[in-house]
């Protein structure tokens, strides 16, 4: 599997930078090899996840720096959505790592070039049919991985993951949880239904906002769009401070994932994804260590005692697998008895290399221009 990851990286990054393809191939192949052979995969998972967020943040900061100042960047970004969706000519270039651009790469409609500025030249969707075609790579990724995207590929997810370091739970937040009675003990171990449903409300609001603004919903999560309207920027910043910084640090849980509209989409598609976390009822001794370890409240006492599987908020991070003393939990291919945690990890790394190549290319291009 490590050779497969390395081979994909070499092929995917070879054009236009052969040396970058070779470098990424060596690094990604070696990383995949070590994460697959170690029993403590969670440590390397956190390194991967947090590094993805750092790469995302560094790219934005370098773009702003190379554009000389925040004000000039704001002026540039204010024109970005207008050019992006204007009817008529569809050939455009973008200096920012746009999600829709990468889906065009999969379809052979976007090419990276580095003349004087470094950017992507792509044919943006001028019609509904073309836009739906652009969404095909997104659909395939969501169907294959489901909510695993939140646990392995989301660049925003690396921030709350970094903040849950340590074990001291300073805030219990029991008013958001249901009380459970198990083996003579009463404690709070799962979220109330309305809390779990908040993400669907945010998704509905995002859809309505996207319709009003005539924008794809994925663009509502674009930092360039946030910077075009300061009220939106400060609103998103405030939500990130609370749900991605403060709450994860104080409670050791990943609260950002419970308000993310894309997380709601992944949850709805999770039932048709390829990977499932299951508990072997013949091995499980009902110690509930996995329940306490889960950072998404996806594993509950009911899951352990009745369903033998977590709810749709499970992000396949693997913490429950490694904490289980009986080796009773693992990732399975849907509908089979086959354990496929290593396959999930390898495919997730390939997906990261595919979807976030823009960071490497644009960051490299900007640094080349700057120095």
Cα distance between residue 344 and residue 308, in whole Å: 20
Q: Which two tokens stand for residue 37?
A: 């052979």
* Ramachandran sector of residue 330 (left: φ over 0; alpha: ψ -120 to 50; beta: rest): beta
Cβ neighbours of residue 271 under 8 Å, at least 6 residues apart?
A: 146, 312
Q: Which two tokens stand for residue 170?
A: 């300073």
26 contacts 15 by C-beta, under 8 angstroms:
no
Domain ranges, ordered by start, for the chain: 2-144+347-370, 165-339
Cα distance between residue 22 and residue 61, in whole Å: 26
Count CB neighbours of 43 within 10 A.
Answer: 11
Cα distance between residue 358 and residue 62, in whole Å: 13
Q: Is the dihedral of CA 32, 34, 39, 43 positive or negative?
A: negative
- DSSP 3-state of 331: strand
**pLDDT by residue, tens only, the chain of 371 residues:** 899 999 999 988 887 678 888 998 999 999 999 999 998 898 899 999 899 888 888 887 777 776 555 566 566 555 554 444 333 444 455 555 566 666 766 666 666 555 555 555 665 555 566 666 667 888 888 889 999 999 998 888 888 988 988 778 888 888 888 887 766 666 777 888 899 999 999 989 888 887 787 666 666 666 666 666 667 778 888 888 999 999 999 999 999 999 988 889 888 888 888 999 999 988 988 888 888 889 999 988 888 888 888 988 999 989 999 999 898 999 999 888 999 999 999 999 999 998 887 777 777 766 666 55
pLDDT of residue 31: 93
Type and span of the H or E element at 332: strand 329-333
- DSSP 3-state of 51: helix
- Domain 165-339: give its CATH architecture: 2-Layer Sandwich (3.30)
pLDDT of residue 130: 62
Return the exposure string of 185-203: e unless at least 16 CB atoms fall within 10 Å of the residue's CB, then b. eeebbbbeeebbeebeebb
Render pLDDT for 134-166 as a digit per residue (tens, 0 to 9).
Answer: 678 888 888 899 999 999 988 888 889 889 887
Q: Which two tokens stand for residue 160?
A: 């709350």
Euclidean distance between the first and final Cα of the chain, in Å?
A: 37
């Amino acid at each position: 599997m490590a050779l497969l990851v390395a081979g994909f990286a070499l092929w995917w990054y070879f054009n236009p930078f052969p040396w970058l393809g070779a470098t990424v191939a060596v690094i990604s192949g070696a990383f995949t090899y070590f994460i697959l052979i170690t029993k403590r995969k969670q440590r390397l998972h956190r390194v991967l996840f947090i590094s993805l967020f750092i790469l995302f943040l560094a790219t934005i900061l370098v773009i702003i720096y190379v554009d000389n100042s925040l004000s000039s960047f704001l002026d540039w970004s204010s024109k970005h959505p207008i050019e992006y969706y204007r009817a008529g000519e569809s050939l455009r270039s973008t200096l920012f790592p746009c999600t829709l651009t990468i889906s065009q790469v999969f379809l052979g409609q976007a090419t990276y070039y580095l003349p004087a500025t470094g950017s992507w030249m792509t044919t943006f969707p001028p019609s509904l049919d073309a836009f739906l075609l652009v969404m095909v790579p997104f659909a395939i990724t969501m169907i294959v991985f489901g909510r695993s995207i939140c646990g392995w590929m989301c660049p925003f997810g690396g921030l709350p993951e970094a903040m849950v370091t340590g074990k001291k739970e300073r805030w219990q937040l029991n008013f958001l949880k249901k009380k459970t009675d198990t083996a003579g003990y009463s404690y709070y171990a799962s979220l109330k239904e309305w809390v779990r449903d908040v993400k669907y409300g945010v998704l509905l609001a995002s859809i309505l906002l996207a319709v009003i603004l005539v924008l794809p919903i994925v663009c509502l999560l674009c930092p360039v769009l946030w910077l075009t309207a300061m009220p939106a920027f400060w609103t998103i910043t405030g939500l990130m401070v609370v749900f991605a910084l403060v709450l994860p640090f104080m409670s050791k849980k990943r609260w950002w994932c419970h308000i993310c509209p894309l997380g709601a989409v992944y949850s709805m598609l999770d039932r048709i994804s390829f990977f499932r976390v299951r508990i072997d009822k013949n091995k499980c001794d009902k110690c509930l260590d996995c329940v306490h370890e889960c950072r998404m409240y996806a594993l509950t006492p009911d899951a352990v005692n009745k369903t033998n599987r977590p709810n749709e908020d499970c992000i396949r991070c693997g913490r429950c697998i490694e904490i289980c003393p009986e080796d009773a939990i693992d990732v399975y291919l849907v509908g089979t008895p086959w354990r496929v945690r290593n396959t999930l990890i390898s495919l997730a790394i390939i997906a990261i290399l595919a979807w976030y190549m823009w960071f490497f290319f644009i960051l490299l291009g900007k640094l080349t221009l700057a120095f």
